[in-house]
Amino acid sequence: MQNDRLTSASERGPLGPRSRRVLPSWVSTMVLLLPTYGWLTLAVFLPLLTMFVFSFMSATPMGKAPIVFTLKQYRAFIDQPYLVGIGINSLLIGFWTTLFCAVLGFLAAVALVQSTLGKTREILLILILLPFWTNGLVRVFSWTMVLRENGFLDNLLHMIAPDAGSIGFLYTRYAIVVGLVHGYLPYMILTCYIALVAIDDAIIEAASSLGARWWTILFKILVPLAAPGLISGSVLIFIPVIGSFMEPRILGGRVGVTMGTVIEDQFTQAFNWPLGASLSFTLLAVVLAIFATFSGVLRRGTAV
């Protein structure tokens, strides 16, 4: 009892009950976000800022040439018109890759949600994630064994039709798209799966009981409600695909010249870092302009 009185007296203080100081909510929020944003600043923002400064230089800063700040590097598409064709080719490859991923990924996600339960669904999700567990270089080189002339695809065809010609299409733009779809398809499946799982089964059951056909349910219910997943997956795929260089270089051969391979050559072979940096930021500006143009469509799709 005496200890309780002492404790009560110490808490009361000379001016009445002692109030605990509560920190503002923004302080705790800043403390929680500081490690993440500190790491992003060191690992992402500072390197990007450095590359942005490099893009205005007349020569690589590690060399012996005098450094002059200029806008010359950003005139590359004017001084070298062939880069415009390469940029359009990169955007087309990104478009077709994103389109195929959207169709295949959405249908796979629908099948995953509607046809599987429990451990079966978990096993299939693990199989979908398998491409992330394999080395990207090994994955791309394995496609060369499948798509080349007299490769696995050709041998499989000749087992069925011995007199058939070759259907190998290695070192074409189609081969590049196949390799990119294989690598980025899991992004679309997972984003669509997350969106479809959130749809109440009662909505689909009500549509079926009212006589809706499967294509009506697919295009009138599932696609609009899963639009956020489709949009998120498209953004996650399109942005890295137009800057990819490994798949175009290995699967495309001479026709696999994209903005990604050009930028890589500037950094690794030509040692022209300012030009490589300016091309990177120009490509980033084009992507941002595309998304800004279609921002209204994206917002309507998310609102649905």
3-state secondary structure of 69: strand
Q: Where are the beta strands (DSSP E) in the chain?
A: none
Model confidence pLDDT, tens digit, residues 57-103: 988 877 777 888 989 899 988 888 899 999 999 999 999 999 999 99
**What whole-number distance in Å separates Cα of residue 5 and Cα of residue 188?**
65
Model confidence pLDDT, tens digit, residues 100-132: 999 999 999 988 887 766 677 778 888 887 777
Task: From 282, 287, 245, select the one nearest 79 (Cα to Cα).
Answer: 282
Confidence class of residue 6 from pLDDT cuts 50, 70 and 90? very low
- The vertex-281 CA angle with 93 and 90, nearest 5°, equals 10
Q: Is 192 exposed, middle or buried, given 0-12, 13-18 or 19+ CB atoms closer than 10 A?
A: buried
211 phi/psi in degrees, rounded to 5: 95, 15
**What whole-number distance in Å separates Cα of residue 236 and Cα of residue 242?**
11
Give the H/E segment covering residue 89.
Answer: helix 82-115
| 177, 100 contact by CB (below 8 A) | yes
Confidence class of residue 18 from pLDDT cuts 50, 70 and 90? low
- Which range is most confident: 36-40, 48-52, 119-123, 158-162? 48-52
Can you list the domains of the chain with their CATH numbers?
2-53 (no CATH), 75-303 (1.10.3720.10)
Token pair listed for 10? 């110490």
> How far is CA 89 from each of CA 79, 98, 116, 277, rounded to the nearest angstrom?
19, 14, 39, 20
Least confident of 1-5, 37-41, 206-210, 222-226: 1-5
Share of the chain above pLDDT 90, in %: 31
